[in-house]
């Protein structure tokens, strides 16, 4: 097997046994990036020189046996701050921004010995579902370069699927890890809100954003979650929960687990092949010993509207800081107000402007009660739907997306259709519960299909256990595109 095709767990084992050297692994990945990046375009920045210097530091440190990810090359979504390496959020307004500090998640990865391969492309400020809203260039799906990789973590998912990295970090506000993982045929985990520190994640919607891993296997997702999770005093929304080993229970199987299938997720508009693949996967879980029953999440129909009021409102507030004064791009203007206006007009792309305007409107005097407050009330109802369902079941299974990956340009002119791409993932963020997308089949056109598993708050252990059991019984996760 070519070294670049390894997953994290296999690479860790091979490096420790001396089956490959860290230098050979790193060089194999850079050769792979050189070979396929002209087609995929997953990276905004490739850190070749920094990675080589980092490898030298690691080899001279003698820390190898004590580090969980010693010399493991990973990619990081370009809205997560990396000290001394550009963090652009794929936006012209931050195209030359170099953070003076490290995010908590990358600091924890550094402590465990990882090597940064580069920063991956995304929809500008993580606002999008296709990575076509990048301020620089669109990323393409490795399975079909004429299709999108999903978004907003499309660069991370495409890089993993194309074997340009062993794994990557993404961020998920309304499905931005799980949806591209589904489109690219890889594993994407959104942890419970508060499980992973957001310190150093450039904020889109602070009550919804969560960092998580995109990997080639469930075991790799569990291993990375071990490293990046845990309480962080630098993040006021970080939950004071003990760290744990999420790989410990992976092999316990699903026998006796109660799995709920929400009737609201199998509705008109769901692609026939996606529905069949997910129902077949549910049948496999039942064959493995899970107890399957129907559940109801009655407020699901309000999730998209609720999300796009709350997320845009928070975006309007969070993006007010980009005014051309303290950092980032600055346009010229005759006076201060004109400078503000020109900076934001030139620096932000169309989708970011659209969401800022939507959020500002929802928060404005006379509309706050009708929109923002009402959306918060509906969010509570959605959260309560999950709480009632989890009184009866241990996990919930749904499609990750209503369709396989769509064509580049297909939905750019219709924002509502683009927003509906996340219809099955948004509720998970509104409720703050964990969710994972795992490959469960392919369409007749050879495009990956993902199944989503949803768990109780802070019960990633059960979520990963069930996902691993399904993965071990099927071969979907092992398929790779030909590039």
Residue 442 CB neighbours (<10 A): 17
Cα separation, 19 vs 7, in Å, equals 14
- Given the residues 9, 77, 316, 437, select the one marked as catalytic: 77
Cα separation, 48 vs 67, in Å, equals 22
pLDDT at 357: 96
Residue 62 CB neighbours (<10 A): 8
- 176 part of the active site: yes
Q: Which residues contact 270 (CB under 8 A, 6 or more apart)?
A: 399, 402
Cα separation, 55 vs 311, in Å, equals 40
The first and second tokens of residue 36, run together, are 């396929």
Q: Which residue's structure tokens are 């989890």? A: 390
pLDDT at 354: 96
pLDDT at 64: 79
What is the per-residue pLDDT across 398-456, written as a single tens digit (0 to 9) for each? 999 999 999 999 998 888 788 888 999 999 999 999 999 999 999 999 999 999 999 99
Cα separation, 455 vs 435, in Å, equals 6
pLDDT at 269: 86
Phi-psi domain of 175 (left: phi exceeds 0; alpha: psi -120 through 50; beta: other):
left
What is the per-residue pLDDT across 176-216, written as a single tens digit (0 to 9) for each? 999 999 999 999 999 999 999 999 999 999 999 999 999 99
- 152 part of the active site: yes
Do 152 and 145 meet the contact criterion of CB atoms below 8 Å apart?
A: no
pLDDT at 446: 98
407 Cα distance to chain centroid: 20
Distances (CA, A) of 96 to 200, 201, 318, 328, 433: 17, 17, 20, 7, 35
Q: Which of 214, 134, 164 is nearest to 51 (CA)?
A: 164
pLDDT at 414: 83
Q: Which of 368, 367, 450, 349 is nearest to 403 (CA)?
A: 450
pLDDT at 65: 80
Long-range contacts (CB closer than 8 Å, 24 or more residues apart) made by 441-446: 441/273, 441/276, 441/277, 441/278, 441/280, 441/281, 441/476, 442/185, 442/277, 442/476, 442/479, 443/271, 443/273, 443/274, 443/404, 444/273, 445/144, 445/404, 446/143, 446/144
pLDDT at 191: 98
Predicted TM-score (pTM) of the model is 0.97
- Given the residues 176, 238, 316, 427, select the one marked as catalytic: 176
The residue length of the chain stands at: 483
Mean pLDDT, the chain, rounded, equals 96
Do 155 and 40 meet the contact criterion of CB atoms below 8 Å apart?
A: no
Kindly list the structural domains of the chain, giving each domain's residue range(s) and its CATH number in brackets, ordered by start.
3-257+393-478 (3.90.1300.10)
Of the listed ranges 62-66, 319-323, 477-481, the one predicted with least confidence: 62-66
- Given the residues 152, 182, 238, 316, select the one marked as catalytic: 152
pLDDT at 366: 87
**Burial group, residue 444, by CB count within 10 angstroms (0-12, 13-18, 19+):** exposed
What is the per-residue pLDDT across 241-298, written as a single tens digit (0 to 9) for each? 989 999 999 999 999 999 999 999 998 889 999 999 999 999 999 999 999 999 999 9
Do 325 and 426 meet the contact criterion of CB atoms below 8 Å apart?
A: no
């Amino acid at each position: 097997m070519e070294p670049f095709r390894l997953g994290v767990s296999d690479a860790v084992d091979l490096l420790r046994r001396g089956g490959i050297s860290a230098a050979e692994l790193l060089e194999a990945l850079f050769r792979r990036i050189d070979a396929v990046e002209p087609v995929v375009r997953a990276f905004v920045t490739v850190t070749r020189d920094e990675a080589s210097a980092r490898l030298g530091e690691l080899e001279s440190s003698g820390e190898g046996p004590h580090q969980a990810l010693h010399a493991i090359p990973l990619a990081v979504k370009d809205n997560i701050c990396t000290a001394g390496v550009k963090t652009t959020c794929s936006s012209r307004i931050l195209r030359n921004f170099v953070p003076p500090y490290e995010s908590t998640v990358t600091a924890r990865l550094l402590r465990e010995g990882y090597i940064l391969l580069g920063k991956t492309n995304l929809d500008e400020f993580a606002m999008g579902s296709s990575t076509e809203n990048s301020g620089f260039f669109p990323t393409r799906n490795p399975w079909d370069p004429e299709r999108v990789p999903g978004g907003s973590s499309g660069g991370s998912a495409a890089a993993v699927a194309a074997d340009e990295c062993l794994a990557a970090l993404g961020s998920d506000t309304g499905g931005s890890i799980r949806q591209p993982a589904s489109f690219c045929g890889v594993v994407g985990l959104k942890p419970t809100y508060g499980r992973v520190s957001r310190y150093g994640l450039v904020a889109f919607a602070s009550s919804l954003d969560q960092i998580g891993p995109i990997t080639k296997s469930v075991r790799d997702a569990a291993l990375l979650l071990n490293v990046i999770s845990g309480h962080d005093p630098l993040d006021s929304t970080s939950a004071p929960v003990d760290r744990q080993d999420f790989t410990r229970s992976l092999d316990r199987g699903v026998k006796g687990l109660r799995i709920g299938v929400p009737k609201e997720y199998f509705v008109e508009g769901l692609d026939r092949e996606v529905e069949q693949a997910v129902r077949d996967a549910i049948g496999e879980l039942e064959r493995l010993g899970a107890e399957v029953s129907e559940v109801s999440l009655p407020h699901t129909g309000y999730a998209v509207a609720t999300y796009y009021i709350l997320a845009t409102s928070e975006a309007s507030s969070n993006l007010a800081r980009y005014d051309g004064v303290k950092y980032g791009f600055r346009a010229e203007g005759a006076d201060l107000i004109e400078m503000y206006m020109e900076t934001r007009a030139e620096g932000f792309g169309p989708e970011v402007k659209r969401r800022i305007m939507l959020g500002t409107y929802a928060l404005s005097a006379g509309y706050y009660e009708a929109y923002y407050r009402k959306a918060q009330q509906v969010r509570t109802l959605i959260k309560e739907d999950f709480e009632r369902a989890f009184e009866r079941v241990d996990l919930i299974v749904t499609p990750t997306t209503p369709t396989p990956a769509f064509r580049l340009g297909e939905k750019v002119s219709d924002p509502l259709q683009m927003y509906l791409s996340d219809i099955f993932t948004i509720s998970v963020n509104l409720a703050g519960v964990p969710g994972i997308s795992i490959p469960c089949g392919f369409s007749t056109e050879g495009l990956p299909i993902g199944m989503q598993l949803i768990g109780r708050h802070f019960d990633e252990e059960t979520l990963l256990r069930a996902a691993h059991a399904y993965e071990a019984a099927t071969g979907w996760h092992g398929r790779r595109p030909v590039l």
